[in-house]
């Protein structure tokens, strides 16, 4: 692998750069890191990214007091792989965790939390882990089993499994604050706070049940996509119309509604609720169910109704998340921790809010390739301008080297990402990467998205869907076709672009040493 292929000057001796970073950091104390990751949170539903649907004042504050990454992408748009990329700073084929339903993460490998520990940091993870093996590299850990539950969730700790009472987003935030209260105050810390929200099946806290019920959302332009010229997109199982389950996803629980996934909610989340929680839930959902039954919807009307229900439920769980970020910020402010703490907000990947008619993620199309990324800068970085949007293309392989650099810990050569610290400081590195690489592997699998890999530059995207029964290429001009409806792979007008993008793809596959197909 030749890491310097696309990133020549970034390769400047790691150590030299770090010393400079710390010096420029202008801080007396070492920096703390709080990395908040949510699950499936679309940038479309964060108001500093997109104002169409909701307000997220607390997330917007992170952007205002720091930077918002306008071109932030993942390498493999699915939870476990994204988390493995986060801790290792390496693409899936290098860290070995390529799909949610494969082998457990090999926790004996190098990760940034382990390197931080060696560098004198105390490290903690609270919330969704999803890597199937016991967390390593953390002085403190409390994780959800698998996907976890919204109501009265179980937590696994080194002492065993126990159940907590309440709503998961509040509990994870409480646990984060409690950890900060009781930490060893003589050492800097790195806390990973990994929420379950806003993952399927988008259940809200009891106090937010009525939120958004009076709102109607505009259908995305591509809601009725016919997938012409895109065979892989035509053959998925993530359509709001066809695959979103009325009982499970949309909570229409009634004896007259029998759906394939109904048992999942009846014996899952609803069965976990206390009688009091259930009564609060029913007081809002029973009238919605009655109304739905009285409407007798079908066809397009039903699809549109499903979209509205989906949006409302999803946004309710975003509301609770944003409120809890506010609660954490209040605590950090009160404790004087904003001075020397970097606060990062990211999701494990993006999500479809009805674009192309979909929910879920996985595809290399924009909505799921992108992921929100906000970084609130420590107050002691007096020189860095706040409220900036960073336009350079960044990827989740970059988080690990960023955190190591901030901690003054040397970045090992085999880490594939690059430190974002220069971008945080407002520098304009001359030779930043001009392409990102993506590879998705979970097929056969839930939602039936084919294996694919590809390359994206600031303007074009080339994707190869492959497998036993598919071998198809897609090429998009994101400038003229930002919603990716027109596959131009066979368009003679783009022949030169196509050849260049193939070259670029070869280049990034070589750079990241990916020969898997
Ligand atoms: C679950 C969901 C899927 C989702 C995957 C992966 N089904 O299996 O809809 O795509 O997680 O999501 S559910 O019936 O369990 O809700 S991920 O974010 O964890 O990768
Ligand atoms: Ca996810």
CATH code (residue 79): 3.40.720.10
Question: Domain for residue 185, yes or no?
Answer: yes
Same-domain check for residues 188 and 259: yes
Q: Check pLDDT > 90 for residue 176.
A: yes
Q: What is the pLDDT of residues 400-458, one digit of tens each?
A: 999 999 999 999 999 999 999 999 999 999 999 999 999 999 999 999 999 999 999 99
Same-domain check for residues 92 and 236: yes
Q: Check pLDDT > 80 for residue 59.
A: yes
Signed CA dihedral, 276, 279, 281, 284: sign only: negative
DSSP for 317-374, please give it. Answer: HHHHHHHHHHHHHHHHHHTTTTTTEEEEEEESS---SSGGGB-S--SSSHHHHB--EE
Which residues, at least 6 apart from 514, have a Cβ–Cβ distance to it below 8 Å? 91, 93, 437, 439, 453
Q: What is the pLDDT of residues 369-390, one digit of tens each?
A: 999 999 999 999 999 999 999 9
The rounded distance, in Å, linking the Cα atoms of 447 and 361 is: 9
The residue among 447, 452, 459 whose CA lies nearest residue 497 is: 459
The residue among 87, 58, 18, 50 whose CA lies nearest residue 331 is: 58
Which residues, at least 6 apart from 129, have a Cβ–Cβ distance to it below 8 Å? 83, 135, 141, 143, 144, 194
Q: Check pLDDT > 70 for residue 2.
A: no
Same-domain check for residues 307 and 164: yes
Contact 74, 43 (CB under 8 A): no
Which residues, at least 6 apart from 494, have a Cβ–Cβ distance to it below 8 Å? 475, 477, 488
pLDDT for the residue 15? 39
Q: Structurally, how many domains does the chain consist of?
A: 2
Of 386, 410, 431, which residue constitutes the final position of a domain? 431
Question: Domain for residue 12, yes or no?
Answer: no
Same-domain check for residues 410 and 472: no
Of 400, 431, 462, which residue constitutes the final position of a domain? 431
Same-domain check for residues 453 and 417: no
Exposed/middle/buried for residue 31 (C-beta within 10 Å: 0-12, 13-18, 19+): buried
For 127, the domain range is: 40-211+223-431
pLDDT for the residue 8? 35
CATH of the domain at 500: 3.30.1120.10
Question: Domain for residue 376, yes or no?
Answer: yes
Same-domain check for residues 273 and 353: yes
> Which ligand 1 atom is at minimum distance from the Cα of 249?
16
Q: What is the pLDDT of residues 65-95, one digit of tens each?
A: 999 999 999 999 999 999 999 999 999 999 9
68 Cα–ligand 1 center, Å: 27
Question: Domain for residue 18, yes or no?
Answer: no
The mean pLDDT of 89-111, rounded to a whole number, is: 98
SS3 202: coil
The residue among 160, 125, 131 whose CA lies nearest residue 143 is: 125
Question: Domain for residue 418, yes or no?
Answer: yes
More confident residue, 20 or 169: 169
The rounded distance, in Å, linking the Cα atoms of 307 and 241 is: 8
Question: Domain for residue 142, yes or no?
Answer: yes
Other beta carbons less than 10 A from residue 329's beta carbon: 18
Contact 96, 106 (CB under 8 A): yes
Contact 176, 191 (CB under 8 A): yes
Q: Check pLDDT > 70 for residue 16.
A: no
pLDDT for the residue 517? 83
Q: Check pLDDT > 90 for residue 506.
A: yes
Question: Domain for residue 364, yes or no?
Answer: yes
> Which ligand 1 atom is at minimum distance from the Cα of 79?
20
40 Cα–ligand 2 center, Å: 4
Q: Check pLDDT > 90 for residue 5.
A: no
> Which ligand 1 atom is at minimum distance from the Cα of 248?
14
Structure tokens at 302: 């039903």
Same-domain check for residues 201 and 319: yes
142 lines ligand 1 (CB under 6 A): no
Q: Using CA positions, which residue lies closest to atom 19 of ligand 1? A: 79
Average pLDDT of the chain is 95
Give whole-number Cα distances, 454 to 141, 315, 363, 517, in Å.
35, 31, 10, 12
Of 431, 460, 484, which residue constitutes the final position of a domain? 431
Q: Check pLDDT > 80 for residue 4.
A: no
> Which ligand 1 atom is at minimum distance from the Cα of 82?
20
78 lines ligand 1 (CB under 6 A): yes
Question: Domain for residue 363, yes or no?
Answer: yes
**How many CA atoms lie less than 13 Å away from 23 in the CB half-sphere?**
6
Q: Check pLDDT > 60 for residue 14.
A: no
Q: Check pLDDT > 70 for residue 13.
A: no
Same-domain check for residues 58 and 192: yes
Same-domain check for residues 195 and 114: yes
The mean pLDDT of 190-196, rounded to a whole number, is: 98
448 lines ligand 1 (CB under 6 A): no
Same-domain check for residues 308 and 457: no
Same-domain check for residues 334 and 255: yes
The rounded distance, in Å, linking the Cα atoms of 401 and 33 is: 13
The mean pLDDT of 261-288, rounded to a whole number, is: 98
477-482 long-range contacts, CB within 8 A, separation 24+: 478/366, 482/366
**How many CA atoms lie less than 13 Å away from 268 in the CB half-sphere?**
18
Which residues, at least 6 apart from 417, have a Cβ–Cβ distance to it below 8 Å? 89, 90, 395, 396, 397, 398, 399, 400, 401, 402
State which of 41, 147, 363 you would mutate to test the pocket of ligand 1, scoring each by most atoms of that ligand within 8 A of its C-beta. 147
pLDDT for the residue 50? 98
**Band (21; pLDDT cuts 50, 70, 90):** low
Same-domain check for residues 427 and 496: no
């Amino acid at each position: 692998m030749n890491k310097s292929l696309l990133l020549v000057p970034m390769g400047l001796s790691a150590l030299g750069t770090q010393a400079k970073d710390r010096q420029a950091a202008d801080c007396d104390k070492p920096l703390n890191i709080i990395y908040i990751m949510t699950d499936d949170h679309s940038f479309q539903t964060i108001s500093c990214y997109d104002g169409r649907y909701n307000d997220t004042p607390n997330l917007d504050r992170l952007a205002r007091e720091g930077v918002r990454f306008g071109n932030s992408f993942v390498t493999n748009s699915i939870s476990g792989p994204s988390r493995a990329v986060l801790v290792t700073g390496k693409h899936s084929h290098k860290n070995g965790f390529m799909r949610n339903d494969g082998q457990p993460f090999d926790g004996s490998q190098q990760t940034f939390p382990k390197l931080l520990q060696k560098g004198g940091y105390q490290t903690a993870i609270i919330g969704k882990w999803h890597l199937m093996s016991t967390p390593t590299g953390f002085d403190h850990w409390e994780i959800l089993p698998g996907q976890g539950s919204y109501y009265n969730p179980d937590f696994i700790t080194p002492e065993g499994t126990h159940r907590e009472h309440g709503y998961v987003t509040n509990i994870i935030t409480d646990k984060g604050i409690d950890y900060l209260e009781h930490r060893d105050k003589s050492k800097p810390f790195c806390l990973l706070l990994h929420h379950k929200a806003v993952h399927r099946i988008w259940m809200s806290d009891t106090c937010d049940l009525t939120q958004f019920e009076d709102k109607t959302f505009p259908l995305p332009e591509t809601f009725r996509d016919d997938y012409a010229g895109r065979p892989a997109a035509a053959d998925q199982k993530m359509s709001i119309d066809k695959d979103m389950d009325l009982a499970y996803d949309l909570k229409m629980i009634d004896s007259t509604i029998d759906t394939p996934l109904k048992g999942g909610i009846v014996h899952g989340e609803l069965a976990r609720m206390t009688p009091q929680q259930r009564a609060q839930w029913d007081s809002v959902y029973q009238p919605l169910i009655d109304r739905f039954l009285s409407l007798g919807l079908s066809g397009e009307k039903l699809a549109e109704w499903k979209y509205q229900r989906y949006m409302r439920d999803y946004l309710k769980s975003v509301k609770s998340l944003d409120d809890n970020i506010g609660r954490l910020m209040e605590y950090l402010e009160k404790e004087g921790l904003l001075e020397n703490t970097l606060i990062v907000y990211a999701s494990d990947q993006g999500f479809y809010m009805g674009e192309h008619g979909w929910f879920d993620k996985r595809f290399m199309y924009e909505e799921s390739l992108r992921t929100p990324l906000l970084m609130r800068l420590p107050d002691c970085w007096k020189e860095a301008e706040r409220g900036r949007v960073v336009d350079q293309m960044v990827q989740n392989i970059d988080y690990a080297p960023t955190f190591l650099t901030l901690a003054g810990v040397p970045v090992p050569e085999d880490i594939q990402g690059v430190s974002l610290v220069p971008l945080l400081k407002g520098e304009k590195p001359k030779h930043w990467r001009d392409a990102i690489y993506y590879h998705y592997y979970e097929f056969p699998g839930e939602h039936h998205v084919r294996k694919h890999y590809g390359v994206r530059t600031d303007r074009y995207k080339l994707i190869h869907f492959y497998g036993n029964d598919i071998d198809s290429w897609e090429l998009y001009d994101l400038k003229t076709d930002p919603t990716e409806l027109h596959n131009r792979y066979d368009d003679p007008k783009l022949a030169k672009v196509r050849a260049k993008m193939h070259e670029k793809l070869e280049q990034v596959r070589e750079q990241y040493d990916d020969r898997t197909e």
